[in-house]
Structure 1
Amino acid sequence: MDAALLSSVADGVATVVISHPAKRNAMTAAMWRGLPELLTGLAADPAVRVLVLTGAGETFCAGADISSLTGDEDPQALAVAAEEALAAFPKPTLAAIRGFCVGGGSQLAAACDLRFAEEGASFGVTPARLGIVYPASSTRRLASLVGPSAAKYLLFSAELIDAERALRTGLLDELLPVGHLAKRVAEFTRILATRSRLTQSSAKEFVDGRRDRDGYWAAQAAGSGDTAEGVAAFLERRAPAFTWTPPKA
């Protein structure tokens, strides 16, 4: 099968699959270039409430396919552009990880809001094996997830760590038994799709520190009706029907 990014949308959840089975789902130059455009389209789709990034088969992503690069392409610049597009995706994102999550794969996973993995997964940040300066934005993102000491361990050594250690360091949010990842991801994303987009969007912006718009979000909350609906639904013991959507630019 050719290397490709496959996408589908069902029940409010967009799923993007990294598919390059011949090379453990390593990202080709075309895949790095194509991811930001794919994400832009999914971000604009009102049917999409949550995005899941995963790998085909039993591997998440083993990094970058260096052989796919042309002489004038900067692999690091391509990876950073894709990583930043994923981090800036305006809706909740979740990486569903099996097998190897290494190099550029770890960059993509770290750029998601949440990371769920199956037992047996392996993680590594490997630029020290190649003498590469890891991008500043990627380094800061990694350190914010796992802390300075764990980030240095990963970056200095380029050693792989198992899923249990990844969970302890904060690189993972949930670790599932083999065979249970898909069910748990489906269950959790269904929950996310029912929650207030107003809360999710404002929380993502605040946590990521991308902007300082307290006044903007206060005005959005005041005019949305979501709070009144949430309180009414709680008192009436029913599921809320939140209606807020982001204003069009």
Structure 2
Amino acid sequence: MIDVSQDAGLWTVTLNRPNKANALTEEMLRSLVQAIRDAHSARALILTGKGRIFSAGADLDAVRAGLATSPLWEELSAAIASLPGLTIAALNGTLAGGAMGMALACDIRIAVSEAKFFYPVMKLGFLPQPSDPKRMAALIGPSRTKLILMGGQKITADEAQVFGLVDRIVLKDDLMFHAKELATDALAASLGIAHGIKELCD
């Protein structure tokens, strides 16, 4: 349910459970963490999903088994954030709940116009993963972060771009083309240069 491909320094990690809105099970989270750790030598990594939805967050059966508060979410976002190469979230559709941490940890986020973004943890009785509000607030500010996390708002791709949560909106058929185009310079450079630029930006 997690597909990984490599091509000359470019890694693509794809959530492949479209019949369940790419909702994440514990097994999928563990596979994602391992895939990201394995990609430490990647000069660029694209994270995307199959189907119309990037990810609905945690699988409901897995939530009932305790996945919503699993440390695996933080392990995953930390692993993405620690990659020295360029990381691109190519959001093929709606992004919800804890799955947002993956996108927040990436360097760049592009999305299709149909995508919506929401993180309904408060009404479900959970705190968000610790790093998610900090990363979100760094991108869109504290008030808009509270609009999503506390106000329970589902925002559109256009709003997400205005806020700064998404860097570019693209046509669905062009999503992977744009993601690979964004990776071009990173693939042509050394990993050390890419990592150096990331450190200067952060």
**1:25 partner amino acid:** N
SS of aligned partner of 2:165 = coil
Query: Residues 21, 207 of structure 1: CA spacing in aligned structure 2 closer, same or farther, 3 A cutoff?
Result: same
Whole-Å separation in 2 of the counterparts to 1:72 and 1:200:
37
Matched ranges for 1:43-192 at <5 A: 43-44=40-41, 48-68=42-62, 71=65, 75-192=69-186
Say whether the 8 Å CA contact 1:29–1:75 is kept in structure 2. no
Say whether the 8 Å CA contact 2:57–2:99 is kept in structure 1. yes
1:9-47 superposed Cα distances (whole Å, 9 cap, x missing partner):
013210000111221001111111222221121214xxx
Offset of residue 206 of structure 1:
3.7
Whole-Å separation in 2 of the counterparts to 1:73 and 1:160:
23
Matched, 1:41 2:74: no
SS of aligned partner of 1:86 = helix
Equivalent pairs counted in the alignment come to 202
**1:123 partner amino acid:** F
Offset of residue 73 of structure 1:
5.6
Offset of residue 183 of structure 1:
1.6
Structure 2 counterpart of 1:31, from 3, 9, 28: 28
| Identical positions, percent | 32
Whole-Å separation in 2 of the counterparts to 1:41 and 1:117:
25
Q: More deviation in 20-29 or 185-194?
A: 185-194
Offset of residue 72 of structure 1:
6.5
Query: Residues 73, 124 of structure 1: CA spacing in aligned structure 2 closer, same or farther, 3 A cutoff?
Result: closer
Whole-Å separation in 1 of the counterparts to 2:21 and 2:93:
9
Offset of residue 121 of structure 1:
0.8
Gaps of 5+ in 2: none
Could you tell me the TM-score, scaled by structure 2's length? 0.91
1:40-64 superposed Cα distances (whole Å, 9 cap, x missing partner):
21214xxx31000000122211101
Offset of residue 191 of structure 1:
2.8
Bigger RCO (CA 8 Å, 6+ sep): 2
When the two chains are superposed, the root-mean-square deviation of aligned CA atoms in Å is: 1.8
**1:130 partner amino acid:** L
Query: Which has the higher Rg, Structure 1 or Structure 2?
Result: 1
Structure 1 counterpart of 2:3, from 6, 31, 35: 6
- Give the structure 2 partner of residue 18 of structure 1: 15
Could you tell me the TM-score, scaled by structure 1's length? 0.75
Of Structure 1 and Structure 2, which has the larger fraction of its residues in strand?
2
SS of aligned partner of 1:198 = helix
Offset of residue 199 of structure 1:
2.9
SS of aligned partner of 1:150 = helix
Offset of residue 203 of structure 1:
2.3
Q: More deviation in 161-170 or 137-146?
A: 137-146
Whole-Å separation in 1 of the counterparts to 2:34 and 2:193:
26
Whole-Å separation in 2 of the counterparts to 1:151 and 1:76:
22
- Give the structure 2 partner of residue 225 of structure 1: none
